[in-house]
A and B are shown apart, each in its own frame.
Chain A
Amino acid sequence: MRAASPVYFSTPVASRIMVLALCVSVVCLLGLAGVALGSSGMPLNRVVSAILGMGERSDGIIIWSLRMPRLLMAGLSGVALALAGFILQRATRNELASPAVLGIVDGAALGVMCFLFMFSNESNALVVSIMWQPLAAALGGIFFASVVIILAVRTEAPPLRTILYGVALGALAKAGVTLFLVDGPVHRASQAAMWLAGSVYQARWADVEVMAMVLVILVPLTFLFSRRMDQLQLDEISAQASGLPVRSTQLMLFALAAFLTAAAVSFAGAIGFVGLMAPHVARLILPGRAGTQMLAAALVGGAMVMAADIVVRILFAPLEVPAGAVTAVIGAPYFLFILIRAGRVHA
Chain B
Amino acid sequence: MAFPFLKCSGVKMRSTPRHLPHVLMLGLIAVLAVVSLHVGIRFTPASEVWRALTEGGEDQTALIVNTLRVPRTLIAMVVGGGLGLSGLLLQTASRNPLAEPGLLGINAGAGLAVVLLVVCAGTSSLTLIAAAACLGALLCALLVFSLAFSAGGIASPSYLLLAGVTVAALLSSGIQIIMVADERTMEELIFWLSGGFADRNADLLYLAAPAIGGCALISALLYPMLDALLTDDMTAQSLGVPVVKLRLAALILAALMAGIGVSVAGPVAFIGLAAPHLARLTGLQSHRDLIPLSLLTGSALALAADIAARFVIYPSEAPVGVLLAAVGVPVLLYLLQRKRIGGAA
Contacts and interface: CB of A to CB of B under 8 A. Distances in A.
Interface of A: 96, 151, 155-161, 163-165, 167-169, 171-172, 174-176, 178-179, 182-183, 197, 272, 316, 319-322, 324-326, 328-329, 332-333, 335-336, 339-340, 342-344, 346-347
Contact of A167 (B165, B319, B343): B165
Interface string B161-198: 11101110110111011001100000000000000000
A296 B176 CA distance: 31
Given A151-B337, A169-B329, A172-B325, A329 B174 contact: yes
A182 B163 CA distance: 30
Contact of A164 (B180, B339, B342): B342
Interface in B145-160: 147-148, 150-153, 155-156, 158-159
A109 to B, nearest CB: 14
Contacts of B169: 272, 328, 332
Nearest to B329: A172
B331 to A, nearest CB: 9
A322 B180 contact: yes
Contacts of B249: none
Nearest 8 A/B pairs, CB to CB: A343-B151, A332-B170, A175-B325, A328-B173, A161-B342, A160-B158, A175-B322, A325-B173
A118 B162 CA distance: 35
Nearest to A174: B325
A325 B342 contact: no
Contacts, number: 145
A319 B178 CA distance: 11
A96 B147 CA distance: 17
Q: Among B98, B162, B170, B341, find the residue whose CB has the most chain A CB atoms closer than 10 A.
A: B162
Contacts of A174: 325
Residue of A151, A324, A335 most packed against chain B (CB within 10 A): A335
B11 interface: no
Contact of B342 (A157, A172, A176, A178): A157
Contact of A346 (B269, B336, B339, B344): B344
A70 B162 CA distance: 33
Contacts of A156: 339
16 contacts: A158-B158, A168-B332, A175-B321, A178-B322, A182-B313, A182-B317, A319-B180, A320-B180, A321-B180, A325-B177, A325-B180, A332-B169, A336-B166, A340-B163, A343-B152, A343-B345
